[in-house]
Amino acid sequence: MTETSGLSRAGKLAKNILRPFYGLARGMAREKFPVIYRDGTRYDNIAAEIKKMRPSTLVETGTCTGENADRMIRLSLWYGETKYYGFDLFEEMDDKTLNKEAALWPAAMDRVEARLKSIRLFGRAPEVHLFKGDTAKTLADAVEKIGSADLIFIDGGHSYETVRSDWENAAKLCHPRTAVFFDDYPNWGVGKLVDEIDQSKWAVEVLSPEDRFFHTVPPLICRLARVTMREP
């Protein structure tokens, strides 16, 4: 065995030994120190926005399992009290809708609610409101209750009709500093809707990095689009 191959094997062994500790450190950073956590994906853009604007009210269409909500809430709690409004079909999801909307299968609403309400940071807990059903109705009905939102993440149904409805209702929640993020640009109905947004009233920015998924040919490329209100 050469010296080089011996060092290579030693390096691989060290990586295998340290991998569990690295995973533990990442998990701790995500849960207890969200302000320093990065995963290198497009979602780091949302984390950067939260650090900059320090929102108190978050709205998300497409809560799904609560994975992204968990990260947003923890980081928002780092800076202060946080309200979260999440929308999904939850138990009302079916195969037909899943395929039509290019969606993910969500967890049960009570399970997601328990996960999000259990979050604690600096003695603070989020105020969590979840809504089950089609956002064309549930989000529209909740606009008055929410009033306004600081950060809105649109990642529910991906058909053009659903994305358009979510955007029209989300726009009613916007104030001059609100940031709206669309996931999965430019795919399905997301790209068409985002490209249609009136840029005389709204600033639209397609963000890097892009994430690539190789379960399709060609690979599926997903980016975030950020939309903010232009100054009058």
Which pLDDT score is estimated for 27? 62
109 vs 64, 67, 74, 204, CA distance in Å? Answer: 9, 13, 19, 32
The pTM score is 0.89
Of the candidate CATH numbers 3.30.1360.40, 3.50.50.60, 3.40.50.150, 3.40.50.1370, the domain formed by 36-229 belongs to 3.40.50.150
141-173 residue pLDDT tens = 999 999 999 999 999 999 999 999 999 999 999
Yes or no: say if 39 and 70 are a contact pair by the CB < 8 Å rule.
no
Top pLDDT among 25 and 184 is at: 184
12-22 residue pLDDT tens = 666 666 566 54
| DSSP 8-state code for residue 172 | T
Amino acid identity, residue 7? L
Amino acid identity, residue 38? R
Which pLDDT score is estimated for 32? 75
Lowest-confidence region among 20-34, 113-127, 175-189: 20-34
Q: What's the CA gap between 112 and 211, in Å, rounded?
A: 25
Tell me the average pLDDT across 54-64. 98
Tell me the average pLDDT across 196-215. 97
Which pLDDT score is estimated for 1? 46
Residue ranges covered by each domain of the chain: 1-32, 36-229
If phi > 0 it is left, if psi is from -120 to 50 it is alpha, else beta; for residue 123 that is: left
Is residue 11 scored above 80 in pLDDT?
A: no
